[in-house]
Structure 1
Amino acid sequence: MAWPVTAASYQPPRQASDGWPVADAATLGWDASTLAGLEDRVADGTYKKITSVVVADHGRLVYEHYFNGGTPELLNDVRSASKSLTAMLVGAAIERGAIRDVKAPVYAFFPDIRIAHPDARLATITLEDLLTMSSTWECDDDNAFSSGNEERMYVTERWLDFALNLPIRGYAPWVTRPKDAPYGRTFAYCTAGAFVAGAVLERATKQPLAAFAHEALEAPLGITQVKWNVSSEGIGMGGGGTRYRSRDLAKLGQLAVDGGRWHGRQVLPAAWVTAMLTPHAQARDDADYGYLWWQFRFPVHGVETKVWAMSGNGGNYVFVLPERGLVAVITSQAYNQSYAHPQSQAIFRDVVLKALPRR
């Protein structure tokens, strides 16, 4: 007689010395069996290449599990989810007076960079244009023919020169112009723009991006292990590839949930967090965009609800639902796989949100 395989059972997260309180999900009203069921679906191959899932409820970790070689100490390469960190750092730099505001003109920070084909319109590009993926540069990572496609930047010696010398974009008949678009901006996903935003931070703060991130974000959150990438000319890569442990990614999400606070300390200005998590451009029919943060729509107990997220290649996400005090981290190594993003979103929808208490 063949005995059935025992289904996974829920176990609360372990208490550690990283500042995270932990709690038993069941005692808080979560459907613990639904959370535990995730482990069975990873084990049977339903979900592939997932390395961790961490969930926090009102500042307490209620679920934590690692898969496929993932560990609490693994520095996850979250790819473009790093862009959301760059947005946080812009808020920190504005608070410190290093940057005037998001209307600051980008080219004013780089008087030393030679522009091969000067155009007066370049001077009108603002930091906010970069944060909302809506600058007038011809830059679209989703279009292999685009002059500014990120893969073209990566093979150049000087990424900053590449980006600042991008041409002004045009508008094909089927592309909505800014004056006709929601929020008055035409969205095009542009990693080069996020990279330049990081370069602006370095010029404004007079520090390497990694050093400013440590001072402004990581040290206040008790984050001690991290890896930032740099471009070929040594500029911090604000557009992707930063590596964090899963619990530390959850801390970044908690800042967004709690108005910029961690353990009562105001790490980021509350007004900046509000602005960052406000739609400024329509990214797709089913998603809006804040300041380098995505806004998706998910069903929460049958009600369509807007959820903000840090998002990166491979299916890496930090989902936040501030009104419910919810943070969910999903790390994955399904890089460049078509199933990666739908899979991670399905885990959030069908496991985390399904298990969420009704209140």
Structure 2
Amino acid sequence: MPGAPQSEVQDQATSLNRPFIDNMNGQGSWSESFWNRFLNNGGDQALSDGSHTLKMEIRPYVKTETVKAGEVIASGSLKLNVVRNPKIDISNIVLNKILPYNGFSISKEKYDTEKIKFLKGSIDEGIFKKINSIVVIKNSGILIEEYFNGENRATLHDPRSVGKSFTSTLMGQAIADGYIKDESEPLKAFYQLDQFKNFSTTKEQITIKDLLTMSSGFDGNDEDSYSPGNEENMYPASDWVKFALDLPFQEKLNHRWHYFTAGVVVLGDIINKSVPNGLKKYADEKLFKPLGIKHYEWQYTPQGVPNTAGGIRMNALDFAKYGQLYKNKGIWNKKQILAKNWINSTFTKQNQITGRKDEYYGYLFWNKRYKSNRKLYEAYYCAGNGGNYILIFKDQPLVIVITASAYGQPYAHSQVDKMVQEFILPAVMGNK
């Protein structure tokens, strides 16, 4: 059943009882899922200003190569009054005053404040939903810093898979320090794979690079709810590394991009067992302390290892420091914190993203081009569920951080694209 949060509910449940609207008791996600699926499948274009009737029909269906639907088993309707473009009075909107922050200057660059005020008003009016912060760094200075939904400079944000990129950073540092030979090292250098299920010599040859580029032969794909290695099957497991290493090898997936969260857990485990005193202390000494990042939180795997698949929380400006480190080619406060050659490899287009034209993947970093007023802006970026981004622009002196909590919502990423292309880039790059 689309919208059911767990695969076992989708596949096995034969009786489902959910109120259509029940936000007070935590059941609103079902109706919210229905609404967002409707919007993303043509509903957004169909809803013009004025009155409409929204009708919902529930049918049984079987999905094979095609979808076969049965008779209607339940239906209902709602009256809608649509206001597409609420009027935003920017005369009453005040932009946040930028205060000093360790590691950044305060930018004196000019930008289109009216456009950013309109963006801020659009967030306040709910046109852009569940946005928590926007930070823009230009020429190493804080240009824009705005918070929403009660968040502030000290808030530790949960950007989900943005944390995967930190795993790439720590792997590069461990290689530079000599604790790991290089990214061509195979899994058999770290694990006795014949002690795990589905042993094969081909699985032994999976490399660190394969996992960094999401192109290993493990039978795991987070974008396929029926995949054995889907992350939703990993979280209930008592040992996430074992879960990953038990998976069978699939030749059809080998060296093809497929999003595989469990593989990043394995990378974290390799780092944890290879560096002195474990990953947590290593990250603090080699990355966070040099950047002046003191306030952060890890989430942990069942084995007590920091969750490198998406478990790091910090404030928006500290995430911006991380992005600026990459913009600086690994230099912070005139010191080379991260090897330049590792950043070059990270920002190489290692694989094309399946199903996305002109989008690529490096070492746990994404790559694409934004189009704003007929100009193209190439960015390498970290991305996480909910609409969380650290954007590092290739040819502009620009780092943008957006944190959000639209977890699981289909609009989460598309609304950020719109914010960047229609508001932020035109405002800070002088596009008319």
TM over 0.5: yes
Alpha-carbon distance in structure 2 between the residues aligned to 1:261 and 1:238: 23
- Between the two proteins, the alignment pairs up a number of residues equal to 342
Residue 157 to residue 313, structure 1, CA distance change in 2 (3 Å): same
Residue 176 of structure 2: aligned partner: 95
Task: List runs of 5+ in structure 2 lacking aligned partners.
Answer: 1-87
**Selected match of 1:270 from 340, 343, 351:** 340
Alpha-carbon distance in structure 2 between the residues aligned to 1:34 and 1:7: 14
**Selected match of 2:206 from 104, 121, 125:** 125
| 1:350 Cα deviation after fit | 1.5
**Selected match of 1:255 from 283, 302, 325:** 325
Tell whether the 8 Å contact from 2:378 to 2:394 is kept in structure 1 after alignment: no
Alpha-carbon distance in structure 2 between the residues aligned to 1:134 and 1:32: 43
Residue 248 of structure 2: aligned partner: 167
| 1:300 Cα deviation after fit | 4.3
Alpha-carbon distance in structure 2 between the residues aligned to 1:351 and 1:320: 17
Residue 174 of structure 1: aligned partner: none
1:6 paired to 2:82:
no
Alpha-carbon distance in structure 2 between the residues aligned to 1:316 and 1:107: 34
Alpha-carbon distance in structure 2 between the residues aligned to 1:37 and 1:5: 6
Aligned partner of residue 257 in structure 2, secondary structure:
coil
Residue 5 to residue 311, structure 1, CA distance change in 2 (3 Å): closer
Tell whether the 8 Å contact from 1:12 to 1:25 is kept in structure 2 after alignment: no
Deviations 1:108-146 (A, max 9, x none): 212388213321101210000000000011110010111
| Aligned AA (1:327) | V
**Selected match of 1:47 from 123, 128, 131:** 128
Q: Choose 343-352 or 244-253, whichever is displaced more.
A: 343-352
Residue 150 of structure 1: aligned partner: 231
Residue 278 to residue 112, structure 1, CA distance change in 2 (3 Å): closer
Alpha-carbon distance in structure 2 between the residues aligned to 1:5 and 1:325: 28
Residue 310 of structure 1: aligned partner: 382
Residue 64 of structure 1: aligned partner: 145
1:356 paired to 2:431:
no
Moved over 6 A (4+): none
**Selected match of 1:213 from 263, 270, 283:** 283
Alpha-carbon distance in structure 1 between the residues aligned to 2:373 and 2:178: 43
Residue 159 of structure 2: aligned partner: 78
**Greater gyration radius:** 2
| 1:221 Cα deviation after fit | 0.2
Alpha-carbon distance in structure 1 between the residues aligned to 2:90 and 2:366: 39
Alpha-carbon distance in structure 1 between the residues aligned to 2:198 and 2:346: 33
Alpha-carbon distance in structure 1 between the residues aligned to 2:243 and 2:338: 31
- Structure 2 counterparts to residues 201-350 of structure 1, below 5 A: 201-284=271-354, 285-286=356-357, 287-350=359-422
Residue 255 to residue 4, structure 1, CA distance change in 2 (3 Å): closer
Residue 198 of structure 1: aligned partner: 268
| Aligned AA (2:214) | M
Tell whether the 8 Å contact from 1:12 to 1:62 is kept in structure 2 after alignment: no
| 1:301 Cα deviation after fit | 4.4
Q: Does 1 or 2 have the higher relative contact order (CA < 8 Å, sep 6+)? A: 1
| 1:159 Cα deviation after fit | 0.9
| Aligned AA (2:402) | I
Tell whether the 8 Å contact from 2:95 to 2:146 is kept in structure 1 after alignment: no
Deviations 1:279-335 (A, max 9, x none): 101113232101000102111442223211100001010011032121000000111
Alpha-carbon distance in structure 1 between the residues aligned to 2:241 and 2:197: 13
Q: State TM-score, norm by structure 2.
A: 0.76
Residue 206 to residue 4, structure 1, CA distance change in 2 (3 Å): closer
| 1:234 Cα deviation after fit | 1.7
Aligned partner of residue 290 in structure 2, secondary structure:
helix
Tell whether the 8 Å contact from 1:140 to 1:190 is kept in structure 2 after alignment: yes
Residue 4 to residue 124, structure 1, CA distance change in 2 (3 Å): closer
Residue 140 to residue 239, structure 1, CA distance change in 2 (3 Å): same
Q: Percent identity?
A: 33
Deviations 1:239-295 (A, max 9, x none): 012101100000010011110111222110111111111110111323210100010
Residue 4 to residue 318, structure 1, CA distance change in 2 (3 Å): closer
Aligned partner of residue 279 in structure 1, secondary structure:
coil
Aligned partner of residue 356 in structure 1, secondary structure:
helix
Tell whether the 8 Å contact from 1:25 to 1:32 is kept in structure 2 after alignment: no
Task: List runs of 5+ in structure 1 lacking aligned partners.
Answer: 172-176, 179-184
Tell whether the 8 Å contact from 2:106 to 2:142 is kept in structure 1 after alignment: yes
Residue 19 of structure 1: aligned partner: 103
Residue 181 of structure 1: aligned partner: none
Tell whether the 8 Å contact from 1:114 to 1:161 is kept in structure 2 after alignment: no
Tell whether the 8 Å contact from 1:12 to 1:23 is kept in structure 2 after alignment: no
Alpha-carbon distance in structure 2 between the residues aligned to 1:332 and 1:117: 39
Give the alignment's Cα RMSD to 1 decimal.
1.9
Alpha-carbon distance in structure 2 between the residues aligned to 1:155 and 1:107: 26
Alpha-carbon distance in structure 1 between the residues aligned to 2:318 and 2:339: 20
